[in-house]
Amino acid sequence: MKNIKLTIMYDGSRFLGWQRLGSEHGEKSIQDILEQNISKLLGEAIKIIGSGRTDTGVHAFAQIANFHTRSTMGLEDIFRTLNHSLPEGISITDIEEVQKEFHSRYDAKSKTYEYHIDTREVANVFTRKYALHEPFSYDINAMKEASRYLIGEHDFQAFASRMNDDRTTIRIIESIDIDKEEDEIRISIKGNGFLYHMVRIMVGTLILVGKGKMKPEDIKRILESRNRKNAGPTVSSVGLFLKRVEY
């Protein structure tokens, strides 16, 4: 039995998120499509494990997944044939055999997400599926100051849409980088794990700071309150990318 690790790039606007939906749904998730294509290629039922579940509309530069197989087909043949059969919007960018114990979700040490904001007055029609159109002259320095309150180990309950199966709402944010190039702001957030909608709520809160509707130091109060109502809105999924997963 071999354990195969995949690095996957996808356009989230074309699919119903990552998580398997089942045959009763007319449209398919990325996990559904990968499992069907790999199973057909290898001639056995394949269950693929992703590093995390991205919502509908969320993109990935480098989602990591793994699956176990008894097939003797070579990695290069799997790589080439799979990329040929996958629909437009999903690409396998790397493939390797890893230790049998490797688990793409449980072994992940950190993830980096990146959010894109289009600040121009008139939206760019070619990027509107890949960046939130939110025209404004943002105070980038205030946003950077606010982001510092989020770095470190905190209880992020105020930045979660709902409680799920996570046993704790404590997470560690290792870094937040905010850059502006011409009319686009990019917010890169690296952490050891994220709660449901946590990145999108953090971005929504930083946007309020950038617009002067919230002060940077308000972030500390929001964290301490552990109350979702005190944080900013959950921004659209369109501008969110899973950028990197580290092991």
- Could you tell me if 198 and 159 are in contact, meaning their C-beta atoms sit under 8 angstroms apart? yes
* Six token digits for residue 206: 């930083």
Q: Among 55, 139, 155, 183, which one carries the catalytic annotation?
A: 55
The CATH number given to whatever domain includes residue 45 is 3.30.70.580
Based on the domain organization, do 169 and 235 belong to the same domain? yes
Based on the domain organization, do 121 and 182 belong to the same domain? yes
Q: What is the pLDDT of residues 71-108, one digit of tens each?
A: 999 999 999 999 999 999 999 999 999 999 999 999 99
Answer yes or no: is 108 within a domain: no
Domain count, the chain: 2
Based on the domain organization, do 129 and 94 belong to the same domain? no
Based on the domain organization, do 57 and 122 belong to the same domain? no
Range of the domain at 56: 2-98
Distance CA 137, CA 134 (A): 10
Q: Which residues is 20 bridged to in the sheet?
A: none
Cα separation values, 132 from 18, 108, 119, 197, Å: 20, 28, 8, 15
Q: What is the pLDDT of residues 201-211, one digit of tens each?
A: 999 999 999 99
pLDDT tier at 9, thresholds 50, 70, 90: very high
pTM (whole model) above 0.85: yes
Q: Taking residues 174-203, report their average pLDDT.
A: 97
Q: Which residues is 94 bridged to in the sheet?
A: 7
Q: Is the pLDDT of residue 185 over 60?
A: yes
Distance CA 240, CA 55 (A): 10
The CATH number given to whatever domain includes residue 161 is 3.30.70.660
Task: Identify whether 55 is a catalytic site residue.
Answer: yes
* Six token digits for residue 74: 């070579």
Q: Which amino acid type is present at position 80?
A: R
For the beta carbon of residue 214, count every other beta carbon within 10 angstroms.
21
Answer yes or no: is 12 within a domain: yes
Please tell me which residue, 144 or 23, carries the higher pLDDT value: 144
Based on the domain organization, do 175 and 93 belong to the same domain? no
Please report, in range form, the residues annotated as the binding site for substrate.
113
Residue 229's Cα: distance from chain center in Å? 23
Based on the domain organization, do 132 and 228 belong to the same domain? yes
Helix (H, G, I), strand (E, B) or coil at 181: strand
- Could you tell me if 101 and 239 are in contact, meaning their C-beta atoms sit under 8 angstroms apart? no
Q: Is the pLDDT of residue 69 over 80?
A: yes
What is the structure's pLDDT at 49? 97
Q: Mean pLDDT in the chain?
A: 95
Answer yes or no: is 104 within a domain: no
**Could you report how far apart the first and last alpha carbons of the chain are, in Å?**
22
Q: How large a percentage of the chain has pLDDT more than 90?
A: 89
pLDDT tier at 28, thresholds 50, 70, 90: confident
User: What φ, ψ does residue 37 adopt, rounded to 5°?
Assistant: -70, -40
Q: Is the pLDDT of residue 198 over 60?
A: yes
